[in-house]
Amino acid sequence: MAVSTLTALLGTIGAESGRIVAPSDGERRGHPSYFPAWAREELLSGPLDAGAKRVLQSHPDRITHVLTDDPWIKRNLNTPELLAEAEKELALSGR
């Protein structure tokens, strides 16, 4: 993820207290999404493979989208294999 994307996400989290903050390319949300404290129990109560998505779908009015063209927001790094693949790609790109 680009430093500018991370900076924008952190700035929005600070300014939008109590809201879910998610990066977006304008058409779909990306990773990572930030969830405030009120979402904790709801995140933990459902199946692990549906928790975050379920919370996002249940509270569209409580989401602030941070628009970015950063392609890394579309990368899902939920498994060791996906993380290793991303690390390899970053190493090849010189980042």
Would you state the structure tokens that stand for residue 2, as one six-digit string? 């680009």
Spatial contact of 52 and 33, defined as CB atoms under 8 Å apart: yes
Spatial contact of 9 and 34, defined as CB atoms under 8 Å apart: yes
| For the chain, percent of residues with pLDDT exceeding 70 | 99
∠ CA(21), CA(95), CA(79), 5° rounding? 55
Calculate mean pLDDT across residues 83-93. Answer: 87
pTM above 0.75, yes or no: yes
Looking at residue 91, what DSSP letter applies? Answer: H
pLDDT in tens, 71-83: 999 988 888 998 8
